Amino acid sequence: MVKGEDAVRRKKNKLNRKKMRADTSTVSARIAGIIASKQRRKAGKRRMCEGMCFSLPTPEDPFNDNYAHKNSKKKKAKNSAAIRTDAGESVTHNDASRIPKHKSVNGKYEKSKSLTRKDQRNPVESLETIDGIYGKNEVDNKQRQGIHGNSEGPSKFLTMCLNSIQKTLLEKEELNGNSEHPLLVNKWGAEFLSCSLLGTDILETTGSCSSVEQIAWMVSIAADIITIKEKEGFNVANPYLLILVPSKEKAVQVRSLCKSLKGLGIHTVSLHTGASLDHQIHGLKSLEPEFLVSTPERLLELVSVKAIDISELSFLVVDGLESFAKSGLLDQLKSIRKHILRASLTVVFCDSFGTLCTSAVQALLDRPITRLSLTDSVASQSACICQYVHICASQEKSSKAIKILNEECQKRLYSDHLKVLFIEENSSKTCISASLLIAEGYSISNDASSGSVEVAYSKEQTMVTVTDLEHVEELEDLEEFEIVVIASFPPEIDDYVKILTGMARQSVNGVLHSCFCQEDAPLAGSLIEILEQCDQNVPDFLRSYGETLSMSEH
Domains, the chain, ranges and CATH?
156-375 (3.40.50.300), 382-551 (3.40.50.300)
Cis? peptide before 239, omega within 30° of 0: yes
From its phi and psi, is residue 294 left (phi > 0), alpha (psi between -120 and 50) or beta?
A: beta
Would you say 258 and 291 are in contact if contact means Cβ atoms under 8 Å apart?
yes
pLDDT digit string (tens) for 380-422?
Answer: 999 999 999 999 998 899 889 999 988 888 887 656 667 889 9
pLDDT the model gives residue 99: 38
Cα 36 to the center of its chain, rounded Å = 38
| pLDDT for the residue 534 | 92
**CA–CA separation, 299 vs 111, rounded Å?**
44
In this prediction, residue 413 carries a pLDDT of 63
Is pLDDT above 50 for 546?
yes
The answer to whether the CB of 487 falls within 8 A of the CB of 515 is yes
Per residue in 46-63, pLDDT tens?
555 544 555 667 767 766
Cβ burial, residue 346 (10 Å; 0-12/13-18/19+)? buried
Q: 334 φ, ψ to 5°?
A: -65, -35
Of the chain, the percentage scoring pLDDT greater than 90 comes to 40
The answer to whether residues 512 and 534 touch, using CB atoms and an 8 Å cutoff, is: no
Selection from 483, 554, 501, 496 nearest residue 524 by Cα: 496
- Asked if residue 489 has pLDDT above 60, the reply is yes
Rounded mean pLDDT of the chain?
A: 78
Residues 6+ apart with CB under 8 A from 464: 405, 420, 421, 422, 437, 442, 454, 455, 456, 457
Question: Helix/strand/coil (H, E, C) string of 221-274?
Answer: HHHHHHHHHHHCCCCCCCCCEEEECCCHHHHHHHHHHHHHHHHHCCCEEEECCC
- For the stretch 449-461, pLDDT in tens is 445 555 544 445 6
Whole-angstrom Cα distance, residue 68 to residue 283?
40
> 241-244 and 315-319 as β-strands: parallel, antiparallel, unpaired?
parallel
Higher pLDDT, 27 or 485: 485
pLDDT, residue 107, reads 40
* Confidence (pTM): 0.70
How confident is the model at residue 106, as a pLDDT?
40
Helix (H) or strand (E) holding 386: strand 385-391
Cα–Cα distance, 193 to 526 (Å, whole number)? 37
Which residue from 295, 252, 291 is spatially nearest to 273, judged by alpha carbons?
295
Do 483 and 424 contact (CB within 8 A), yes or no?
no
Residue 537: is its pLDDT beyond 50? Answer: yes
- pLDDT tier at 174, thresholds 50, 70, 90: low
The candidate with the shortest Cα–Cα distance to 197, out of 157, 238, 145, 257, is 145
pLDDT of residue 524: 93
DSSP 8-state class, residue 387: E
Choose between 356 and 41: higher pLDDT.
Answer: 356
